[in-house]
Amino acid sequence: MEVSVKENEFVVLSISEVSSSSSTSFSKSEPVFARFRSGSGAPELRFGQESQSGADIVINLRGSQLFRLGPAESLFISEVFEDNKETGYSRGISIQFKNKEESRSFHCAFEQWKTEMVVQGPPLPNGAVSTSTSKFDEKIEASSAKMYFHYYGQLLHQQNMLQDFVRTGTYYAAVIENRADFLGRVVVDVGAGSGILSLFAAQAGAKHVYAIEASEMAEHAKKLIAGNPSLNERITVIKGKVEEVELPVKADILISEPMGTLLVNERMLESYVIARDRFLVPNGKMFPAVGRIHVAPFSDEYLYLEIANKAIFWQQQSYFGVDLTPLQRSAYEGYFSQPVVDAFDPRLLVAPAISHAINFTLIKEEDLYEIEIPLKFACSVSTRIHGLACWFDVLFNGSTVPRWLTTAPGAPTTHWYQLRCVLSQPLYVMPGQEITGNFRLVAHRAQSYTIYLTLSATVGDMLQTSSGKLDLKEPYYRMSQPQAYSSAQEPNQLLQTQDVLTQSWVEDGLVPVQQPSPNHGVELQTL
């Protein structure tokens, strides 16, 4: 692999060595260049002149320090080790700059190169996995991580998130309205992406922001931040995973957008908690600080029939002379294993939601490996329950203005939408009837979760129980579908045109499928 060379160059008025043991000297008639470089070896600083290319002073940045002696004068101290010796000596170089602006730029470059040397190591191509094993590498499949970082390394996906005004506007308001929390503080942006949250923190008066981003988006973030000169001197972009990087100081505040579908998809919450344990000072703030998963049973005949109808293809007994029906049941179960991502009408909910809170400031990383939510609802109508609807919100607990970001149905739609787990066997319930069950999320190595859902209800002496296993990694995106029902096609009225699908029918192989007809009626077909 060919490693690209990076370089920052400065012109200084003069340099002089504090140590008298060195005979290196430069002509006073031409400028002296100071170049920060990174090739195949460690980052280094070179002092030299064009006419004396072989007489450069080369300094390894590891163990080096830079001190200001005046507005335009600094002292550079480095460790020098002689060949075959474990001990060395300090080398001091006095640097005279043209003005204080040049001095400040040089100091900023030095700090950034020192930080990159500590946290980044040799540059990696997009999606490559380091040979060193970190906690992230141990629990996440390499192929999943490669696709994940490739996805977030593209500007079109960052644009999609930036154009989610609910998301971006809420983050901006949460930061700017709570300037008192950011003013003069050190901030770490976990999974910085384009760097937009780092820029918000700098706008709010942060002393310095360390923007950590593992994908190739880090290079775009550097360009964006460099293009905002009023803020860029207080932001350092670090390319690497939070599980692996080191920072020169502790953070007073962590800011991040670690939420995925159903809050936990992509398992970035774990990295957010790891960043808390590694970088945050005791009692430091987290933006956001709390997340809540909300769940409620729903009734949606249209959605249920839409999913069931997808398996009709496998009913064909002579598809080019081939009987497809042996795969019919597997296909049917496969479609119901996909959680549905869309924005639905809150009138489809048939009971008040219950909530499960996750306090990011207190939870342990291991507690996110498996999340279990006991279910207990009181149904408000007579209907068929087709599954469980889910959404989430997060709290920015600012000291001035606490603010919530919600993805609830009926609220302004975000790029997360809502999520619904549809059961292949609906339940029939009466008003006031109790619905119980369990909703369990188990993390897997593809950076997502397996969902285990069970719902139960008793009608007379008959106990109805329906279960499903769904993969949060493989949802059915349904955002283009119409969500509101007309008054003539309410879900409860559809129930009057269709018999109730009982448990015995499902076991016997009966499923409902919708056939085109002039009156849009529903017919039952045998699979």
Structure confidence by residue, pLDDT tens digits, 438-458: 999 999 999 999 999 999 998
| pLDDT for 512 beyond 90 | no
Half-sphere exposure of 316 (CA within 13 A, CB side): 9
Q: What is the mean pLDDT of the chain?
A: 82
Residue 369 or 499, more confident: 369
Token pair, residue 455, equals 């719902």
Q: Structurally, what CATH architecture does the domain formed by 151-257 represent?
A: 3-Layer(aba) Sandwich (3.40)
Reported as a pLDDT band with limits 50, 70 and 90, residue 464 is very high
- Prediction pTM value: 0.70
Rounded distance between C-alpha atoms, residue 159 and residue 209, angstroms: 22
Side-by-side strand order, sheet with 434-444: 370-378, 434-444, 448-459, 462-471
List the Cα angle 314/320/322 in 5-degree steps. 55
Average pLDDT for 130-156 = 75
Q: Rounded mean pLDDT of 145-168? A: 87
Q: Which of 514, 404, 419, 435 is nearest to 476 (CA)?
A: 419
Contacts of 415 (CB under 8 A, 6+ apart): 160, 161, 164, 167
> Are the C-beta atoms of residues 342 and 483 closer than 8 Å to each other?
yes
How far is Cα 78 from Cα 97, in angstroms, rounded to an integer?
A: 19
What are the pLDDT digits (tens) for 338-354?
A: 999 999 999 999 999 99
Mean of pLDDT values over 208-230: 94
Is residue 506 pLDDT above 60, yes or no? no
As given in the structure block, the two tokens for residue 446 are 């593809």
**Catalytically annotated residues:** 257, 266
Closest CA relative to residue 166, chosen from 339, 404, 367: 404
The residue type found at 478 is R
Per the model's pLDDT, the better-predicted residue between 128 and 17 turns out to be 17
Q: What is the pLDDT of residues 256-269, one digit of tens each?
A: 999 999 999 999 99
Check residue 324 and give its pLDDT: 97
**Nearest Cα residue to 380 out of 418, 348, 333, 412:** 348
Regarding the domain delimited by 291-477, which CATH topology (the fold level of the hierarchy) does it fall under?
Hnrnp arginine n-methyltransferase1 (2.70.160)
- State residue 503's pLDDT score: 34
CA-CA-CA-CA torsion sign (473, 474, 479, 485): negative
Token pair for 347: 């009138």
Question: 14 versus 259: which is more confidently predicted?
Answer: 259
- Looking at residue 44, what is its pLDDT? 80
Number of other residues whose CB lies within 10 A of the CB of residue 249: 12
pLDDT exceeds 60 at position 375? yes
Counting other chains too, the contacts that 70-76 makes at CB distance below 8 Å and 24 or more residues apart are: 71/99, 71/100, 71/103, 72/96, 72/97, 72/98, 72/99, 72/100, 72/102, 72/103, 73/97, 73/103, 74/103, 74/106, 74/107, 75/18, 76/45
Mean pLDDT of 311-323: 96
CA distance 58 to 54: 11
Q: Tell me: cis bond preceding 288? Omega within 30 of 0 counts.
A: yes
pLDDT, position 12? 86
Domain ranges for the chain, please list them.
6-116, 151-257, 291-477
- Give the tens place of pLDDT for each residue, 167-201: 999 999 999 999 999 999 999 999 999 999 999 99
Three-state DSSP state, 103: helix
Q: What is the pLDDT of residue 420?
A: 98
Domain 6-116 -> CATH class: mainly beta
Residues forming beta bridges with residue 458, ordered by sequence position? 463
Least confident residue range of 418-427, 429-438, 475-484: 475-484
**Of 11-15, 85-89, 238-242, 251-255, where does mean pLDDT reach its minimum?**
85-89
103 has a pLDDT exceeding 60: yes
What's the gap between Cα 204 and its chain centre? 23
CA–CA separation, 384 vs 382, rounded Å? 7
Q: How many CB atoms lie within 10 A of CB 238?
A: 24
Write out the two tokens for 178.
Answer: 């709570």
Q: Is the pLDDT of residue 56 over 50?
A: yes
Predicted local confidence at residue 64, as pLDDT: 78
